[in-house]
């Protein structure tokens, strides 16, 4: 594909898709799982050595953090789709302009997020109803985490560029190095220096800075159009508009998803610190299942993007089927295993029987049918990859976000139990998936089916 480093990239416009998708996805999956392991280390260390309040503080802010940062993370999806499309089309100049625009956007966006996160931490956590014995620790954790937003954004945008050209291995290597640093610093800061939540937050941003430096250096040493030149960093207005057009809906969708989770977290907070801690621990375990499935959303976005550029629509539909197969397979197997071994896994986070019991309530309801979320995400990914980012945003906001909020205000209000609250997740996934399938079928029939038919006739 490029003159050098070709062994690190992947031409997604040709080859056997069943194995090609898996080879592309596995390093992303391992990267995500490693990242979750290192994040889980934060939760485990504070839960074991700083008590339930510290565990609740770290665990209860995840949805808030995601709500604030998701907008800019979504923009990295726009950069990913553009780089993949221009790579498939062989437009090297457009690839280079997109890379330099994306990197500068990451740095500016990260700085803005730092200011917003530090300023809004206390009022938002108060609005969420964080208990008095948790809120001060939670605010401290959020503010330290957001100091590191520029390096976190830089890593995510650079990783999106590498994924777009099929290089999924180096982000894995960089996360491994950074993650080991994170775990070591967690233990030192919390156990040796007794820094509690401040220690795990500080360890996180230091390790993120390491991964950002490593991945930026890798782009600077690449050959071909993805090579990063620091003296060429600038915003190319045309590429920025396209990144925003594709990425902003994805970011808004993720932010609103997180907003619905904030509403649910606020309801969880009403049950007290023990339930908050159990829910946080179970959510950490469930995140491993989600990460395995979400890998195939990222895969189909890249495969669809390159094949749109190469004008090979037949590979888009085949790649979608392959990604759906793998997402459901991983979701079913890992979801069932997490339910079967949930009690043992939750003891890693806390030895309090009440916390473990609260965590199992979430595990059994959410993790079992988690494959529905994987199916929904693959449909979202293929629509983004072919350039339709607004429609999945609208459908997902209505089906998975507004629906959950209405559920909290109506059904949960009538049946105020943690089980009723958790059931909002699988029901919303199934509804959203069904609507996305219909939308994709309509778009495919109008835009791609005629071209597909012409290519089939030409081959015959």
pLDDT of residue 450: 65
Which two three-digit tokens encode residue 236? 């190319």
Residue 455: is its pLDDT beyond 60?
no
Cβ 53 vs Cβ 198: under 8 Å: no
What is the predicted pLDDT for the residue at 144? Answer: 93
- At 297, the pLDDT band (50, 70, 90 cuts) reads very high
Q: Which residue has the higher pLDDT, 434 or 166?
A: 434
| Average pLDDT over all residues of the chain | 86
The answer to whether 392 and 334 are in contact (CB under 8 A) is: no
Please choose, from the candidates 382, 370, 376, 419, the residue with its C-alpha nearest in 3D space to the C-alpha of residue 399: 376
Q: How far apart are CA 250 and CA 393, in angstroms?
A: 6
Question: In total, how many domains does the chain have?
Answer: 1
DSSP state of 3: S
pLDDT over 90 percentage in the chain = 38
pLDDT band at 1 (very low <50, low <70, confident <90, very high): very low
Whether residue 459 is contained in a domain is answered as: no
Is residue 190, in this structure, part of any structural domain at all? yes
Q: Would you state the pLDDT for residue 174?
A: 92
Higher pLDDT among residues 450 and 201, named by residue: 201
Asked if residue 195 has pLDDT above 70, the reply is yes
Mean pLDDT of 25-36: 83
Q: Is residue 359 part of a domain?
A: yes
Which of the pair, 357 or 458, is modelled with greater confidence?
357
- Residue 329 falls within a domain, yes or no? yes
Residue 326 reports pLDDT greater than 90: yes
Residue at token pair 């233990």: 187
- Residue 460: the pLDDT is 43
Q: What is the mean pLDDT of residues 154-161?
A: 94
Binning pLDDT at 50, 70 and 90, where does residue 454 land? low
Residue 172 lies in a domain: yes
Percent of the chain with pLDDT over 70: 93
Asked, for residue 24, whether it belongs to a domain, the answer is yes
Helix ranges (DSSP H) in 386-448: 390-396, 403-409, 411-414, 418-422, 424-443
100 pLDDT more than 80? yes
Polymer length in residues for the chain: 460
Q: What confidence score (pLDDT) does residue 69 get?
A: 77
List CB contacts of 142: < 8 A, sequence separation 6 or more: 61, 64, 65, 117, 121, 125
Question: Is there a domain that residue 193 lies in?
Answer: yes
Mean pLDDT of 73-84: 89
Residue 107: CB atoms within 10 Å: 15
pLDDT of 3 higher than 50:
no
Question: What value does the mean pLDDT take over residues 227-255?
Answer: 90
Mean pLDDT of 29-49: 77
Whole-number pLDDT of residue 300 = 93
63: confidence class by pLDDT, cuts 50, 70, 90: low
Q: Does the pLDDT value for residue 41 go beyond 80?
A: no
pTM: 0.77
- Measured in degrees and rounded to the nearest 5, phi and psi for residue 166 equal 90, 5
Indicate whether 312 pLDDT > 90: no
With a cut of 70, say whether residue 449 has pLDDT above it.
Answer: no
- What domain range includes position 244? 15-453
Q: Residue 258's CB: how many other CB atoms inside 10 A?
A: 22
Q: Which residues contact 204 (CB under 8 A, 6 or more apart)?
A: 39, 42, 145, 148, 182
Listed in sequence order, the residues at least 6 apart from 37 whose beta carbon sits closer than 8 Å to its beta carbon are: 179
Residue 123 has pLDDT above 80, yes or no: yes
Give domain status of residue 458, yes or no. Answer: no
Mean pLDDT of the region 299-313: 88
């Amino acid at each position: 594909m490029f003159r050098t480093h070709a062994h690190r990239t992947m031409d997604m416009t040709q080859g056997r898709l069943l194995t090609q998708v898996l080879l592309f996805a596995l390093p992303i999956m391992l990267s995500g799982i490693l990242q979750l392991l290192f994040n889980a280390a934060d939760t485990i260390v504070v839960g074991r050595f700083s008590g339930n309040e510290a565990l609740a503080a770290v665990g209860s802010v995840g949805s808030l953090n995601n709500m604030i940062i998701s907008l800019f993370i979504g923009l990295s999806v726009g950069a990913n789709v553009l780089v993949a499309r221009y790579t498939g089309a062989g437009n090297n100049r457009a690839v280079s302009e997109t890379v330099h625009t994306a990197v500068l956007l990451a740095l500016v966006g990260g700085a803005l997020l730092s200011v917003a996160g530090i300023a809004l931490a206390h009022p938002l956590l108060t609005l969420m109803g964080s208990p008095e014995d948790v809120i001060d620790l939670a605010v401290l954790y959020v503010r330290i985490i957001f100091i590191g937003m520029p390096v976190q954004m830089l890593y995510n945008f650079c990783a999106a560029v590498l994924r777009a050209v099929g290089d999924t291995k180096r982000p894995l290597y960089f996360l491994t190095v950074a993650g080991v640093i994170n775990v070591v610093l967690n233990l030192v800061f919390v156990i040796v220096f007794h820094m509690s939540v401040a220690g795990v937050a500080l360890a996180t941003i230091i390790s993120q800075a390491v991964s950002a430096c490593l991945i930026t250096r890798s782009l600077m040493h690449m050959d071909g159009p993805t090579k990063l030149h620091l003296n060429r960093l600038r915003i190319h207005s045309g590429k920025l508009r396209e990144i925003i057009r594709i990425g902003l809906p994805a970011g808004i969708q993720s932010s609103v998803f997180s907003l619905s989770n904030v509403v649910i977290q606020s309801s969880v907070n009403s049950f007290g610190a023990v339930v908050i801690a159990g829910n946080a621990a179970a959510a950490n375990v469930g995140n491993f299942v989600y990460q395995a499935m979400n890998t195939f959303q990222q895969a189909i976005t890249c495969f669809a993007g390159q094949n749109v550029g190469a004008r090979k629509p037949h590979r888009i539909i085949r790649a979608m089927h392959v990604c759906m197969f793998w997402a459901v397979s991983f979701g079913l197997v890992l979801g069932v295993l997490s339910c079967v071994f949930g009690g043992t896994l939750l003891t890693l986070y806390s030895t309090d029987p009440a916390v473990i019991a609260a965590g199992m309530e979430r595990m059994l309801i959410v993790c079992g049918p988690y494959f529905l979320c994987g199916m929904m995400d693959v449909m979202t990914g293929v629509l983004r990859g072919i350039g339709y980012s607004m429609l999945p945003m609208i459908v997902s906001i209505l089906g998975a976000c507004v629906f959950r909020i209405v559920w909290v205000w109506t059904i949960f209000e009538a049946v105020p139990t943690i089980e009723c609250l958790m059931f909002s997740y699988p029901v919303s996934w199934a509804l959203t998936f069904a609507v996305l399938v219909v939308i994709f079928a309509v778009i495919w029939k109008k835009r791609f089916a005629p071209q597909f038919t012409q290519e089939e006739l030409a081959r015959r």
